[in-house]
Amino acid sequence: MARVIAVANQKGGVGKTTTCVNLAASLAATRRRVLVIDLDPQGNATMGSGVDKYEVEHTAYDLLVDEVPAEQVIIKDTNGKYDLISANGDVTAAEIKLMEFFARELRLRNALEPIKDQYDFIFIDCPPALNMLTVNAMGAADSVLVPMQCEYYALEGLTALIDTISKLAAVVNPDLGIEGILRTMYDPRNRLANDVSDQLKQHFGDKVYRTVIPRNVRLAEAPSFGSPAIYYDKSSAGAKAYLALAGEMLRRAERSEPETEQA
């Protein structure tokens, strides 16, 4: 059964889509079965996977609004070697249409139920806003992975996001928790970045991944070539960092399995 992880932060430009695409590709490279769901109307995860968002037959809109079965919406052939449910501007309309439905916050969870046993990981790339699409992602997810830059305003945003996750857990998904906090675009020469990083570790402890994603030109270039960094330049610092993150995530999962069995 897949572990469903929403990659979310209401602040834009923190490396959310970069993390979703590159972590998914890194896990797929370890022969895990991975699905990426693009819920952002900008369709960046779709384009970054080598899929033209303007040419796709089905998107997340069809899954959420028209109840097209997930198996018909999934794109199998991506440059990241993972499966994809794409997005484009049509998904903006889904935000409005969802308001018409009963149990609208659970539409994604119900749509994924028939296919969850086909994957090891399902990553949901959320839009940079706490809207109905993000609520659907959180309703379907087991946990939330939060990418963030180590800067002052990001700390404030993180506090607000965690408060929102707690409220959503109480109403929509009682099992929802924090998967981990990922430091992105990190420059160790920046004193503020180091100070914020220390505060994160102090307040969130083991929830902060040991792996840090550096500022990296290759990582920034890869989406314009429709490819995750591991296939664009596997020797780059960015590609190596996401491979390390995948390894850390797998080790964490292995450590938590005995506890789950005892419970």
- CATH superfamily membership of 3-262: P-loop containing nucleotide triphosphate hydrolases (3.40.50.300)
DSSP secondary structure of 146-177: EEEESSHHHHHHHHHHHHHHHHHHHHT-TT-E
Q: 115-140: per-residue pLDDT in tens?
A: 999 999 999 999 988 889 999 999 99
**192 contacts: CB under 8 Å, gap ≥ 6:** 150, 151, 152
pLDDT above 90 covers a percentage of the chain that reads 71
Query: 164, 161, 182: which is closest to 173 by C-alpha?
Result: 164
Phi-psi region of 78 (alpha: psi -120 to 50; beta: other; left: phi over 0): beta
Q: Would you list the domain boundaries of the chain?
A: 3-262
Structural element, H or E, at residue 139: helix 132-140
| Burial of 169 (C-beta count, 10 Å sphere; 0-12/13-18/19+) | middle
Q: Are strands 83-85 and 121-125 parallel, antiparallel or unpaired?
A: unpaired
Q: 75-118: per-residue pLDDT in tens?
A: 998 999 999 999 999 999 998 899 898 889 999 999 999 999 99
| Residue-level pLDDT at 258 | 53
Q: 52-74: per-residue pLDDT in tens?
A: 999 999 999 999 999 999 999 99
